[in-house]
Structure 1
Amino acid sequence: MQPRSSPAMPDRLADKERSEALAQMHLIKILRAYMLHMVGEVPGYKALVLDKDTMRISSTQFGRTELAEHNVVHIERLDSNDGKEHLELKAICFVRPTRENVTLLKRELRQPRYQSYHLYFTNLVSQMHLQDLAEADAAQEQVQQVQEFYGDFVALDVHHFMVPVPTNEVLINPKAALPLGASEFEAVDRLVQGLSALFLALRRRPVIRYQRSSDAAKRLAEGLHNLTYKQQPGVFDFGSRSSPVVLLLDRCDDPVTPLLMQWTYQAMIHELVGIRDNTAVLTSAKVPEQYREVVVDPASDDFYRSHKFANYGEVGLSVKELVDQFSSQSAAHKQVSSLEDMRRFVLDHSDFSRAQANVTKHVNIVTQLSEAVSARSLMDVSTLEQDLSNPAAPLTAAAAYEDVLGMLRNTAITNKDRARLVMLYALRFEAEAQRITGLLDFLRQAGVRDSSPGLYAAAQGILQYGGSDRRSGDLYGGGNILLKAKNVFKGLQGVENVYTQHQPLLSETLRLLAASDLNAAAYPYMAGSQDEALTWQAAYKQRPPSEVIVFIVGGSTYEEAKAAAEWNSRGPGGRPQSGMRVLLGGSSVLSSDAFLKALGAAEAAAGSELR
């Protein structure tokens, strides 16, 4: 077996493109560069062998058609292959360096089914695993190379990533560990692996800050610090390159954002349909079966890229314009009366077909969104949600209680939406114990506890999860006079859309970071000593970080991804206008369904699903 290569960005990228990708922390370009290098440097026809995680990682970057252009003619899972020999193909194995994967690779190498093997691991490989693989390959000597390509995370967008944790629920609700057969420690260990690979891919060793009130964030900070500064300091030392800050937050710091109905296109699709690996499955009876699985990828869909952060009303108008444009093109294509017309039709037909498919896709998506909004009275529900979550809204606990109670009595409202309103009221008016109990009693009398025990448990336990004593951030702006004044001024000015008044806490956290005002007691530095922590604190007080990686244990949301994208909007010279470039990551991308399921996971194990 040939020795593994030293950790490096693939040479196939031109120097300028490579340096730009690294300078911009462009996650899509970096991951695609790794994969292009893998499939490009191996000549001939190839098979791509993946594990369950790298299947997700690669599917967000490449479709089968593009892989076929690089002579990848077969794709299979390492843990569930077809068992057939493919001796005409060379195997490109892109897998995580886990004990399970190494065991499967050893079995494969002892009875090879491919002409040769090229092993690419998503993270650092231990010498013990390399030795095991070398021994398994000794008889056949089929392994041509072993390399580390640091792609142990899913790049959702240029600035947004995820370290997928199969049991993300335990990071939100540790009580879920028993029914799920998983532990919070295992989940945090997976996050250490994913984030350390991200640091290596970016060629940066960040300074670590974490949310003091979160045990999971602290454990993650300790794990990352031990690995990058103590166990493997040489591997993570990239010389004079400036160190970004990685800020490790817990979802409980802002439990409001994942509870809200979303009204921007990308977030709304995820909330009402669900996006997994850039794919959504529509269920509307109005959508024909063959059109129900749709790809929502900003890299391949210009309309989606341009409108993913647009609000619902704007998207509806833009889809109508898209239909009108297509109708004009369609009419022109019908006018085929000469040889020249036929030639033009043949040349334009592929583009015409793509346009037709894109129009059909977005019309179908908006159709399903519209059905859900109407059936669940979501505009009425969301108006109240926004008032409850907006610090500038002039609400009293008594008036808001009556408003929520009135909405709960609406027979068109689903139990899930009822529970969300109760939880938002409890978070906003935490001291109103009697009124909160009254709202919970309503849910119980309406049969929610019996029909959906997990949903009722989520509503009942929201303050234990994300009450003021669990949070470090100033969620409602009450402790910041300037922020409170700014929120009131915003309320007096009015907003462009009543359904998008809410701003996630992340926006304010980023503002404080950029101004070197983020509370060092609530969000301390993880360092080898108190003196080192004070040194970092003084350095960033004098000069705020120009690069920040925010990671949310428990999961980020698409609303927060929009906030990060707004921070990264470019000014002169391509630098962010804010002066600080931001990457946002999480252990999942939450919808309200996923969040509620996690909060009530232990109780729901023996009950029915959310509805």
Structure 2
Amino acid sequence: MVLNSLVREYIGRMLQDISGMKVLILDSQTVSIVSVVYSQSELLQKEVFLVELVDSMSKEPMSHLKAVYFLRPTSDNIQNLRRQLANPRFGEYHLFFSNILKVTQIQILADSDEHEVVQQVQEFFADFCAIDPYHFTLNLHINHMYMIPAVIDPPSSQNFCDRIVDGIAAVFLALKRRPVIRYQRTSDVAKKIAQETAKLMYEQESGLFDFRRTETSPLLLVIDRRDDPVTPLLTQWTYQAMVHELIGILDNKVDLRNVGTVPKDQQEVVLSSEQDAFFKANIYENFGDLGLNIKQMVDDFQQIAKSNQNIQTIDDMAKFVNNYPEYRKMHGNVSKHVTMVTEMSRIVEERKLMLVSQTEQDLACNGGQAAAYELVQFLLKQAGVDKRTGDLYGNRDLLNIARNMARGLKGVENVYTQHQPLLFQSMENITKGRLRDIDYPFIGNHFQQGRPQEVVVFVVGGTTYEEARTVALHNAANSGTRFILGGTVVLNSQRFLKDLEEAQKIARSSILI
């Protein structure tokens, strides 16, 4: 159930089984899929000396290289391949696709290989971006479509749903599981995606999903972002979520070009729990503890730097040269984290975020009222109480009211992180077998026998790093049910409001029409 390891294994198999110098050819989406699990230096170790995009390749012949294509099986990609096979630039062609190929697509490729340069065609099911062990995204640019009724823009709506179904299918093919499927009753888009996913898994490609049965079937739960519109709007105070909220993370990369005077080699940095030990240890730490840990990292580095200054013998010099790559890597890492924390501190001070966050948390956790601006009114229309399933504010259910009162009486450890996303409540209900059938119906005649041991929650409209943290902490603390969280994008407040604005524009124009 560790997604980034599965994708990494796919890419590793793809590259290591082909000996010699290689060019890796990707599309705009598989670039993201590969980049979050493999660094450039690791690709180089696999003898990948060039990376190109399938739709913007040079025409220079390179017959000494073997071409490894890793593409989504879209009609555009198939047509690009058809044209490139007609005039082959490379000595060999190895074709890998991130999802299920249609028979017609295989036939097009076979007919196009007149020069017989294609050595293999395989499906490697990695049609999703595994940004963390238990968190994946589809990076959908038209994310606002989940708020638009399908009748307004049928082609875009169908493309949106098709991409989601493809991504979910690839996750379960990678996990070698076929789930029972449930969805949020109040969401038409969640229902549609659940139905189409079930149709693919149980009818169209039933043979492909015919894996060895487990004692309890895994669960796929499809929910709608509008069930919890609060979580994406809150100021964040844990490391990963805070970086995304204040600076921005895309495919585990942070753009620092607009942050002060940053050296060229630090203008885009990788923030990956798999490649950065300090980030892995501090990914969910709050801002205060993070500051202390950064200081300790700087102190440790200064001690190493001082010892390297005391080079007096040939042996000292030899040790320094041997350790220099590690020393330089450590220097880059220290610089990266200090730069980000310094920038975030500046933003917190400039925007008075500690004061703002206290108010936000009070509104979110203690039932305050939002200001009645036009955008907020549209949000209420999109995600008001009649559109939601869960008890978002913990004030419908007597048990939740009691919990909130107890929390108020005992006080909280940190007033800036009182909020728990609605997902926490849903996960708790799943693990305790209390997720109501009336609110989250099953698709077809497939019901859950016992409590699921493996659950994939897919959020149409996007996930947040606060929710990813909730999932990771649950998985670390529990030996029972394991969760994976996925969504159409990874949201921060800016992206969520932008999607809301785009949906509002389309809604207005459709009314005018």
TM-score normalised to structure 2 length: 0.95
| Structure 2 residue 194 is matched with structure 1 residue 221 | yes
| Structure 2 residue 60 is matched with structure 1 residue 84 | yes
Shift of 1:286: 4.7
Conserved? CA contact 1:167–1:182, under 8 Å: no
- Of residues 380, 396, 406 in structure 2, which corresponds to 1:479? 396
Conserved? CA contact 1:386–1:499, under 8 Å: yes
Secondary structure of the structure 2 residue equivalent to 1:463: helix
Give 1:115's aligned residue: 91
Give 1:199's aligned residue: 172
| Structure 2 residue 439 is matched with structure 1 residue 522 | yes
Secondary structure of the structure 2 residue equivalent to 1:310: coil
Distance 2:499 2:148 in 1: 6
| Structure 2 residue 338 is matched with structure 1 residue 338 | no
One-letter identity of the residue aligned with 1:365: M
Give 1:134's aligned residue: 110
Shift of 1:144: 0.6
Conserved? CA contact 2:178–2:209, under 8 Å: yes
Conserved? CA contact 1:265–1:315, under 8 Å: yes
Distance 1:310 1:286 in 2: 27
Distance 1:468 1:96, change over 3 A: same
Shift of 1:348: 2.1
| Structure 2 residue 253 is matched with structure 1 residue 352 | no
| Structure 2 residue 37 is matched with structure 1 residue 61 | yes
Shift of 1:482: 1.4
Distance 1:75 1:561, change over 3 A: same
Conserved? CA contact 1:549–1:584, under 8 Å: yes
State the Cα deviation string for residues 155-192 of structure 1 (Å, max 9, x = none): 011111112322112124559987xx972221111000
Secondary structure of the structure 1 residue equivalent to 2:96: strand
Conserved? CA contact 2:64–2:91, under 8 Å: yes
Distance 1:174 1:313 in 2: 44
- Of residues 155, 161, 185 in structure 2, which corresponds to 1:212? 185
Conserved? CA contact 1:150–1:200, under 8 Å: yes
Shift of 1:601: 1.2
Give 1:106's aligned residue: 82
- Of residues 407, 425, 437 in structure 2, which corresponds to 1:508? 425
Give 2:206's aligned residue: 233
Distance 1:602 1:172, change over 3 A: closer
Shift of 1:370: 0.7
Distance 2:96 2:74 in 1: 13
| Structure 2 residue 217 is matched with structure 1 residue 259 | no
Give 1:36's aligned residue: 12
One-letter identity of the residue aligned with 1:590: L
Conserved? CA contact 1:28–1:157, under 8 Å: yes
- Of residues 451, 454, 457 in structure 2, which corresponds to 1:550? 457
| Structure 2 residue 278 is matched with structure 1 residue 303 | yes
Secondary structure of the structure 2 residue equivalent to 1:600: helix
One-letter identity of the residue aligned with 1:593: Q
One-letter identity of the residue aligned with 1:161: F
Give the 5 Å matches for 1:177-192. Answer: 183-192=156-165
Shift of 1:44: 1.0
State the Cα deviation string for residues 311-369 of structure 1 (Å, max 9, x = none): 01111111111111111111111111222322222222222111111111111000110
Give 1:566's aligned residue: 473
Conserved? CA contact 1:263–1:499, under 8 Å: yes
One-letter identity of the residue aligned with 1:585: G
Conserved? CA contact 1:170–1:177, under 8 Å: no
Secondary structure of the structure 2 residue equivalent to 1:351: helix
Give 1:407's aligned residue: none
Distance 1:93 1:286 in 2: 38
Shift of 1:547: 0.9
Taking only the aligned residue pairs, the percentage that are identical comes to 42
Conserved? CA contact 1:97–1:122, under 8 Å: yes
Give the 5 Å matches for 1:42-53. Answer: 42-53=18-29
Shift of 1:136: 0.7
Distance 2:282 2:362 in 1: 26
Shift of 1:502: 0.3
State the Cα deviation string for residues 508-533 of structure 1 (Å, max 9, x = none): 10000111111111110011xxxx25
Distance 1:103 1:276, change over 3 A: same
One-letter identity of the residue aligned with 2:279: Y
Conserved? CA contact 1:172–1:251, under 8 Å: no
State the Cα deviation string for residues 78-136 of structure 1 (Å, max 9, x = none): 11112221111111111011111111110011111111111111111111111111111
Distance 2:51 2:85 in 1: 18
One-letter identity of the residue aligned with 2:175: L
Distance 1:46 1:287, change over 3 A: closer
Shift of 1:230: 1.3
Distance 2:423 2:104 in 1: 41
One-letter identity of the residue aligned with 2:305: S
State which drifts further: 225-234 or 203-212.
225-234
Distance 1:175 1:275, change over 3 A: farther
State the Cα deviation string for residues 480-536 of structure 1 (Å, max 9, x = none): 211221222122222221110000000010000111111111110011xxxx25xx1
Q: CA RMSD in A?
A: 1.8
- Of residues 73, 81, 85 in structure 2, which corresponds to 1:97? 73
Distance 1:205 1:337 in 2: 64
Shift of 1:298: 0.9
Distance 1:135 1:482, change over 3 A: same
Distance 2:357 2:141 in 1: 31
Distance 2:463 2:174 in 1: 21
State the Cα deviation string for residues 202-226 of structure 1 (Å, max 9, x = none): 1000000000111110110011011
Conserved? CA contact 1:204–1:236, under 8 Å: yes
Distance 1:340 1:183, change over 3 A: same
Give 1:319's aligned residue: 294
Secondary structure of the structure 2 residue equivalent to 1:237: coil
Conserved? CA contact 2:301–2:330, under 8 Å: yes
Shift of 1:459: 2.2
Distance 2:84 2:465 in 1: 40
Distance 1:478 1:150, change over 3 A: same
State which drifts further: 374-383 or 486-495.
486-495
Conserved? CA contact 2:255–2:267, under 8 Å: yes
Distance 1:288 1:151 in 2: 34
One-letter identity of the residue aligned with 2:145: V
Give 2:348's aligned residue: 373
Give 2:244's aligned residue: 270
Aligned residues: 504
Conserved? CA contact 1:28–1:155, under 8 Å: yes
Distance 2:464 2:191 in 1: 21
Distance 1:44 1:78, change over 3 A: same
TM-score normalised to structure 1 length: 0.80
State which drifts further: 243-252 or 472-481.
472-481
| Structure 2 residue 2 is matched with structure 1 residue 26 | yes
Conserved? CA contact 2:150–2:157, under 8 Å: no
State which drifts further: 286-295 or 594-603.
286-295
One-letter identity of the residue aligned with 1:88: H
